[in-house]
Structure 1
């Protein structure tokens, strides 16, 4: 299952939500919480969520594979955000009107500069040739990941432009209980979004690698199915997150037959994340990095690929057990 490079509209929650006072469990310095009510979102009913495919919501940073200079390339998420003056005007408008409606942006003047290579995400609307910010005042988009950019060093560690491959974590085709880490041609990932997870991303809830030996990989969105998902009802989901071993996930994303994506996050239910070991971290994984030593030793960014290559065919009882030879 794949998602196009569209990140403009945030996925709606499966339940209607309510903003309540109190510090957020998800975002530092946010003095309010967005919590689910027990009322199902009408969009979920309209999209026949009971027939949707439930997949694990992953905790990392979003990436996108599309062409750059005519070749398949990994792109990192980068939102254009307003400068300080524009942000003050926007917040003042929200405070007075309780809505972003009727607020006027001057995109050319109000937003911070982004690299020339930046592109807006699919789905971002335009007016007079300029992208229109979303309700949060951001313009979602992407920048290509280059090997010499320190800001995206963990992104570049999972992609090899010499062999045109990426390190991808995915279910094994022959055993649904087994995960695999494979070197996948970038051409096979074109127009997909993926989640970068690992040692230095979002606090590493999956326990991958260490400071001395960082481990990162890409996970295609929608690729980790949730087997025997709970019924789409508040109490059933709450109990599943609390009590089921399969419920030790950040959340669920339902892929509806009409293309609609609907989510629920543990924080929507007032639950912590992470809370102990995660389901993904405890799944067995096999390393499938084919090729030859020369394939990766000649690459500028070969270190992580080479480390995985030395483990080709090795199976670990848990994803978080992956270790490289010293």
Structure 2
């Protein structure tokens, strides 16, 4: 399972891919789309993907748990990006050379400022102690989420640093994680150290899972690799496409395979020309029990934790049915 805060290398598709000059189904501002072919990626073959653990690709924003100021902390994804003049030069170079290779970055002048606490992600290459941008001109990295942080208010809503816990959505049966039941539970941040997780909820990526509402927003964390898929068809293009379209368990954004040698491979609906979301999602339709007992009953307490503590022990037939009053 993916545990480290590494977002430098994009996870390759389990099939080989090709670029089509059509508007992206995934990103509104992208004039092309990357689609899967019917050929299995050689990387997947070499990594013995047939024996890999298949997990649900969760649609949210990536987070990381790591120490900050002597305490386990949640970190938000923040890529360091080029400023407008540098971006213009970079686009011109790519247009002329059909590639980003050979482009020279001035690391002191070409990039937007980031908070002093920003750190590059694990796996980012360095030259002379300077992080090197990826082929898209970005330097993946993290910033710590501070308590009641306005820029990261939805991130901060799922952690309580006084209690040292985070709000996590996970399979209720850890020994049988493929079972349908989920639990929304407080987990010590120390137990999540080194893990990457996905923040999902009302105000993240269009809220594919139907969590909360504008009046009572609801967010939580899902550890990468924690939601297993146990009923995948053979690794065949047409079989997998049919599975996404017709099977109840195929109502997911995508699949991530965790190979025994550490290789990660993925396949999402956009690779297959399929919409996402498309009706009710599998995760949003799964039963869930709320287990949030500990809460600070004063003005410094986390509002979401306080609200959920009133639902402690309640079971909902669907994750998207979890409601509370603020």
- TM-score, normalized by length of structure 1? 0.97
Aligned to 2:64: 64
User: Do structure 1's residue 86 and structure 2's residue 89 form an aligned pair?
Assistant: no
User: Do structure 1's residue 177 and structure 2's residue 180 form an aligned pair?
Assistant: yes
State how far apart, in whole Å, the 1-side matches of 2:290 and 2:148 are.
27
Cα deviation 1:249-298 (Å, max 9, x = unaligned): 0000000000011001100000000000000000000011233xxx4223
Q: How does 1:212-227 map to 2 (within 5 A)?
A: 212-227=215-230
Q: How does 1:244-283 map to 2 (within 5 A)?
A: 244-283=247-286
SS at match of 1:296: coil
- 8 Å contact 2:148–2:157 — kept in the other structure? no
Q: How does 1:289-300 map to 2 (within 5 A)?
A: 289-291=292-294, 295-298=295-298, 300=300
Q: Residue 301 and residue 119 in structure 1: after superposition, are their counterparts in 2 closer, same or farther (change >3 A)? A: farther
Cα deviation 1:210-256 (Å, max 9, x = unaligned): 00110000000000001211211100110000000000000000000
Name whichever of 138-147 and 28-37 sits farther off.
28-37
1:187 pairs with 187, 190, 209, which one?
190
State how far apart, in whole Å, the 1-side matches of 2:316 and 2:33 are.
39
State how far apart, in whole Å, the 2-side matches of 1:245 and 1:234 are.
18
State how far apart, in whole Å, the 2-side matches of 1:325 and 1:85 are.
48
SS at match of 2:72: strand
Cα deviation 1:171-230 (Å, max 9, x = unaligned): 012662210000000000000000000000000000000001100000000000012112
Q: Which structure 2 residue ranges, 5 or more long, are not aligned?
A: none
Q: Which structure 1 residue ranges, 5 or more long, are not aligned?
A: none
SS at match of 2:92: helix
Aligned to 2:162: 162
Aligned to 1:210: 213
SS at match of 1:168: strand
State how far apart, in whole Å, the 1-side matches of 2:3 and 2:72 are.
16
Aligned to 1:124: 124
Aligned to 1:232: 235
| Cα drift, residue 2 of structure 1 | 3.9
User: Do structure 1's residue 32 and structure 2's residue 35 form an aligned pair?
Assistant: no
State how far apart, in whole Å, the 2-side matches of 1:62 and 1:210 are.
21
State how far apart, in whole Å, the 2-side matches of 1:113 and 1:298 are.
37
State how far apart, in whole Å, the 1-side matches of 2:271 and 2:180 are.
28
SS at match of 1:110: coil
- 8 Å contact 2:147–2:160 — kept in the other structure? no
State how far apart, in whole Å, the 2-side matches of 1:98 and 1:23 are.
19
Aligned to 1:98: 98
| Cα drift, residue 301 of structure 1 | 4.5
Name whichever of 100-109 and 7-16 sits farther off.
100-109
State how far apart, in whole Å, the 1-side matches of 2:17 and 2:325 are.
48
State how far apart, in whole Å, the 2-side matches of 1:183 and 1:200 are.
20
| Cα drift, residue 149 of structure 1 | 2.3
State how far apart, in whole Å, the 2-side matches of 1:99 and 1:231 are.
35
Runs of 4+ in 1 over 4 A off after TM superposition: none
Aligned to 1:242: 245
- 8 Å contact 2:59–2:200 — kept in the other structure? yes
SS at match of 2:260: coil
State how far apart, in whole Å, the 2-side matches of 1:233 and 1:108 are.
47
1:287 pairs with 287, 290, 296, which one?
290
State how far apart, in whole Å, the 1-side matches of 2:7 and 2:72 are.
20
